[in-house]
Copies of this chain bind each other. A is one copy, B any other.
Amino acid sequence: MSFQNPVFIPGPTNIPESLRKACDMPTIDHRSPLFGQILHPAREGVRKVLKSESAEIFIFPSTGTGGWETALTNTLSAGDKILAARNGMFSHRWIDMCQRHNLDVQVVETPWGEGLPADRYEEILTADTNHEIKAVLATHNETATGVKSDIAAVRRALDAAGHPALLFVDGVSSIASMDFRMDEWGVDVAVTGSQKGFMLTAGLAIVGFSAKAMAATETAKLPRTFFDVHDMAKGYAANAYPYTPAVGLLNGLNEACTMLLNEGLENVFARHTRIAEGVRAAVGAWGLELCAANPSVYSDTVSAIKTPEGFNATDIVTHAAEKYGVAFGVGLGEVAGKVFRIGHLGSLTDVMALSGIATAEMCMVDLGLDIKLGSGVAAAQDYYRGNTATAQKDAA
């Protein structure tokens, strides 16, 4: 098992040394004041990362999928109507979860590669004069396609329709890497995990609830215990959890927030944009295209790269792992075999990104694609040279 090369999957990310150490903690009493000294700053840090003044932050020993379930089960009842667009594998899965929990989802089918259709949302919400739609789902960044959506536009759609539905946002692969504004965008439940922008291992579902979402918990009838936010809130008030918390990961989350806030969120976002631009320059130099339909939806955390017709993009991922010991992401669902993905989020430097680009290049040449060795690297080098500044130390 070689751990020498960076990973280029779209999460979990490469873990900074200091976060590895923060997580690797001896056992403490999770019912002691000491635990509160980890828990409360971690929640406060998350709140700041979400750009919220007052969201209630809940952190479950779970994953982003558990965060989705937390959003739904704490605020809704069987039969409630939901509005959601399907434009990738992760929006698809959240819709599927709604259906399993007996929610009535109105699905707006959207081409994979495009962002959420805010205009169509507005039409539907405007037409829903009885306000039967209780919640709108929005996947901020479709990890499967490398597509980011305009959450502010979704909020404008709700407002234009004068519709009171809750707005739930899946920010699993955007939060802490790309700009996210919980309060300004009127997000009612924000969902993320520990293993993306927070640069930790998987194991935490991290959610923020607005006051409006908290109010909805009073009437929600979907069954819930493990993901119950009331039990969690009651625990927090006593420096504790309703069950045993993942103390080391929480300690890591606290440290991750400190790192991100010390670097400055805008700097973190700019760093992600910079690394992503280099990758995109390489893709252009290769003569390939992104799955993302146009620059306005390019994701700064993951690029899904389309390979020529007749070529199985998944072979690149398999070959990179076997021959070069490097992990990329495969295409999922509709785009399986059509794209491969380079994750470029979390703790990454220009230098690490170049090694991923160089590897992808070798793989494509090995597999017979008409790519010139060094071409993508040179394009990325050219970009990074002009845009590096001295930001290399920031994410240490």
Contacts and interface: CB of A to CB of B under 8 A. Distances in A.
A24 interface: yes
Nearest to A365: B385
A395 B4 CA distance: 9
Contact of A362 (B13, B347, B358, B385): B385
Interface in A329-362: 329-330, 347-352, 354-355, 358-359, 361-362
Interface residues of A, number: 103
The dominant DSSP class at the A interface is loop
Contacts of A26: 3, 14-15, 17, 20
A154 interface: no
A29 to B, nearest CB: 4
A244 B193 contact: yes
Given A20-B24, A23-B24, A355-B351, A244 B382 contact: no
B361 A381 contact: yes
Contact of A351 (B101, B202, B349, B359): B359
A374 interface: yes
A243 B100 CA distance: 17
Interface string A376-390: 011001101100101
B326 A351 contact: yes
B202 A244 contact: yes
Tell which of A1, A9, A225 has the most Cβ of chain B within 10 Å: A225
Contacts of A78: 223
A61 B351 contact: no
A69 B348 contact: no
Given A193-B244, A396-B4, A362 B381 contact: yes
Contacts of A377: 354, 358, 373-374, 377-378
A130 interface: no
A69 B226 contact: yes
Contacts of A349: 2, 4-5, 324-325
A233 B347 CA distance: 32
29 contacts: A2-B393, A2-B396, A3-B17, A3-B396, A4-B16, A4-B396, A5-B349, A5-B392, A12-B247, A21-B24, A23-B24, A29-B321, A61-B66, A65-B226, A66-B226, A97-B225, A100-B228, A101-B225, A201-B248, A202-B247, A203-B203, A326-B351, A351-B358, A352-B355, A354-B377, A358-B358, A362-B384, A373-B382, A374-B378
